[in-house]
Amino acid sequence: MQRALIERLKREIRTVPDFPKPGIAFKDICSILENPILMQDVCQGLYHDLVPLKGKVTHVVSLESRGFIFGTVMALYLKVPMIIVRKPGKLPGELVSVDYKKEYGVDTLTVESDSFGKGDQVLIHDDLLATGGSAVAAAKLVHKCGAEVCGFSFIMELNELEGRKKLQLFSDHINSVVNFEKGE
C-alpha cells in the first residue's frame, strides 16, 4: 500500500509556482484534505511510520498550521497529548520562543512553557520538510522545555533542500510519507 500511496500523492499534490514569493514551488495539501479516502490513506501511512515509536512517544508537537491537521490524528492514534507550536501572538500564558530562518525569510515559533518537561519524549509533526528550519526550531523549543525529541514526521519531503540532515542532530527517526526530488 505504501508504494501505491506514494505514487498517488505525487500525482495529487499540486505544486504552485512562485508562492508565497517568486522562486518558491509551494506544495499544496488541499488535494489531500478534499479527498476523504486519500486523507484516510495518508493517516494510515503516517501511523505505519509511527509503529516503532508506539509506547515511547509521550507528546505530539504539531506546527502551525497545516501540521495541526495530521498531528491531531497522530496524537489520537498514539493516545498522547497534542501540543501546538504557533507564531507569536497566538498562544496565551508563559511562552518559550525560538527564531529561525526559512527558505523565504525569518520567523519565530512559540509553545506554552508547561506543555511538556523533563522525561517527556516528543514526536514533532509538520506537513512538509523543506530546509528543516521550522522543525529544528520546534526541536529547540522542546529542549528549552526540558523534554527530548524522539522523532519527526512529515507528509512530504523536498529532498533537494536537505532538511533531513539538520534534523539528524535531534533524532534518527525521521519519516516522510512521500519524498519529492528536484523538479517533481
- Please identify every residue annotated as catalytic: 66, 103
Distance CA 114, CA 95 (A): 8
Relative orientation angle of helices 66-78 and 36-50, to the nearest 10 degrees? 60
Could you tell me if 122 and 135 are in contact, meaning their C-beta atoms sit under 8 angstroms apart? no
Q: 107: which strand partners?
A: 100
Distance CA 100, CA 108 (A): 6
Could you tell me if 61 and 74 are in contact, meaning their C-beta atoms sit under 8 angstroms apart? no
